[in-house]
């Protein structure tokens, strides 16, 4: 039986599955392993099932024992893993696409609604019972008829587009390549960021964090937006330069931000805390029982597939 190290606690039925398929070294206390501890624990293991909280950088990967052949990430994103370093050591890296598309798109829509309709301020006032109805109380931005720019039209972006269209939004997008008409479903393609941002009343960031997308939302690109635009991010915190966005919010260039992800999670840049309109969640994109179960099972299956066939359909390096 292959031996695997599971770095974070999984849902019960997924841990049972892991222990059925493998000799699984589980983390029942859900301790956040340091890089050093992860390296120590992985001795004698054939695979490591990681989470987005594990920073698998070059130095860590280089110190993994030769026995480790697979790093199976319990996430669709793999910005926490140095793919090249893994490749050099002939370790395959896998992810969990598709199964989290719906749940993550739901949160993407929640961010748009929450930021546009001033949900943070509304929740606070309602809980404190310190509000009074009036014709102009907590007036927000209406989605119907607004233009939604989607940055990164992969599976999650496409699902957000379908829901947002049903809400009456007009969909624009930028992607590395134009989609087929069938996948576009009437969305308007822009071949540059500037072109997309200039028509985005609301932006939904859905692209992966890569060297090319780090700080894509910055001092310069924020100026491309119409004044009063709303920025939402359901992808990765690394894509946004927080200081630039906080400054744009304070200047009212940007009306509101809806973030499920941010740099340095779980520590939020204090600049956001001071801005009442920010609608911020603690990385809940895939957090439903159905989805987290499917993701963990897929992460386990990816390892199994590799050891049975020598390859894996969800290999990303
Ligand atoms: C969640 O953020 C994921 O990448 O799966």
End-to-end Cα spacing for the chain: 25
The CATH number of domain 101-280 is 1.10.274.10: no
Locus of tokens 């099932």: 49
Q: Is 76 in the pocket of ligand 1 (CB under 6 A)?
A: yes
Q: Is 50 in the pocket of ligand 1 (CB under 6 A)?
A: no
pLDDT at 176: 94
Residues 284-300 have a mean pLDDT of 98
Distance of CA 50 to the CA centre of its chain: 16
Catalytic residue among 265, 290, 292, 305: 265
Q: Could you tell me what percent of the chain has a pLDDT over 90?
A: 100
Q: Do 101-280 and 3-97+288-309 fall under one CATH topology?
A: yes
For residue 155, indicate whether it is catalytic.
no
Query: Which atom of ligand 1 lies nearest, measured to the CA of 95?
Result: 5
72: three-class secondary structure by DSSP: strand
Taking Cα atoms as reference points, which of 85, 42, 91, 43 lies closest to residue 70?
91
**In this structure, are residues 40 and 22 in contact, taking their beta carbons and an 8 Å threshold?**
no
pLDDT at 191: 97
Query: Which atom of ligand 1 lies nearest, measured to the CA of 77?
Result: 4
Residue located nearest, by CA, to atom 1 of ligand 1: 75
Locus of tokens 């520590």: 267
Residue boundaries of the structural domains of the chain: 3-97+288-309, 101-280
CA of 210 to the centre of ligand 1 (A): 14
**In this structure, are residues 212 and 152 in contact, taking their beta carbons and an 8 Å threshold?**
no
Query: Which atom of ligand 1 lies nearest, measured to the CA of 283?
Result: 2
Ligand 1 pocket mutation pick from 73, 75, 281 by most atoms within 8 angstroms of CB = 75
**Phi, psi of 252, deg, nearest 5:** 70, 15
CA of 285 to the centre of ligand 1 (A): 7
Q: Is the dihedral of CA 120, 123, 129, 131 positive or negative?
A: positive
Residue located nearest, by CA, to atom 4 of ligand 1: 77
CATH number of 3-97+288-309: 3.40.50.720
pLDDT tens digit string along 226-283?
999 999 999 999 999 999 999 999 999 999 999 999 999 999 999 999 999 999 999 9
For residue 251, indicate whether it is catalytic.
no
What is the rounded CA–CA span in Å between residue 221 and residue 133?
A: 38
CA of 165 to the centre of ligand 1 (A): 24
pLDDT tens digit string along 179-235?
999 999 999 999 999 999 999 999 999 999 999 999 999 999 999 999 999 999 999
pLDDT at 203: 99
pLDDT at 47: 98
What is the rounded CA–CA span in Å between residue 15 and residue 23?
A: 11
CA of 229 to the centre of ligand 1 (A): 26
Catalytic residue among 45, 118, 190, 236: 236
Cis, peptide link before residue 117, omega less than 30° from 0: no
pLDDT at 155: 96
pTM of the model: 0.95
pLDDT tens digit string along 13-34?
999 999 999 999 999 999 999 9
């Amino acid at each position: 039986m292959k031996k695997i190290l599971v770095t974070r606690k999984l849902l019960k039925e997924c841990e049972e599955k892991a222990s059925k398929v493998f000799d699984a070294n589980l983390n029942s206390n859900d301790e956040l392993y340091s890089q050093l501890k992860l390296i120590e624990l992985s001795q004698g293991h054939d695979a490591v099932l990681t989470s987005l909280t594990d920073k698998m950088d070059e130095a860590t990967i280089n110190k993994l024992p030769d026995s480790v052949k697979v790093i199976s990430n319990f996430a669709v994103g793999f910005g926490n893993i140095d793919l090249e370093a893994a490749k050099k050591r002939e370790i395959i890296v896998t992810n969990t696409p598709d199964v989290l598309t719906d749940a993550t798109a739901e949160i993407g829509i929640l961010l748009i609604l929450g930021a546009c309709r001033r949900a943070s301020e509304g929740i606070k006032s309602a809980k404190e019972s310190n509000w009074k109805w009036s014709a102009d109380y907590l007036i927000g931005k209406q989605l119907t008829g607004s233009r939604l720019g989607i940055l990164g039209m992969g599976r999650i972006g496409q699902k957000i587009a379908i829901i947002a269209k049903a809400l009456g939004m007009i969909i624009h997008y930028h992607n590395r390549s134009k989609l087929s008409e069938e996948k576009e479903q009437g969305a308007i393609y822009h071949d540059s960021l500037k072109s997309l941002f200039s028509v985005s009343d609301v932006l939904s960031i859905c692209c992966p964090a890569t060297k090319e997308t780090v700080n894509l939302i910055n001092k310069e690109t924020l100026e491309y937006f119409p004044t009063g635009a709303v920025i939402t991010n359901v992808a990765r915190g690394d894509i946004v330069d927080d200081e630039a966005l906080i400054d744009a919010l304070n200047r009212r260039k940007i009306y509101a931000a809806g973030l499920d992800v941010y740099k340095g999670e779980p520590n939020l840049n204090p600049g956001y805390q001071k801005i009442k309109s920010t609608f911020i969640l603690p990385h809940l994109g895939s957090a439903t029982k159905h989805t987290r179960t499917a993701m963990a099972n897929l992460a386990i299956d990816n390892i199994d597939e590799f050891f049975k066939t020598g390859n894996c359909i969800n290999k990303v390096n």
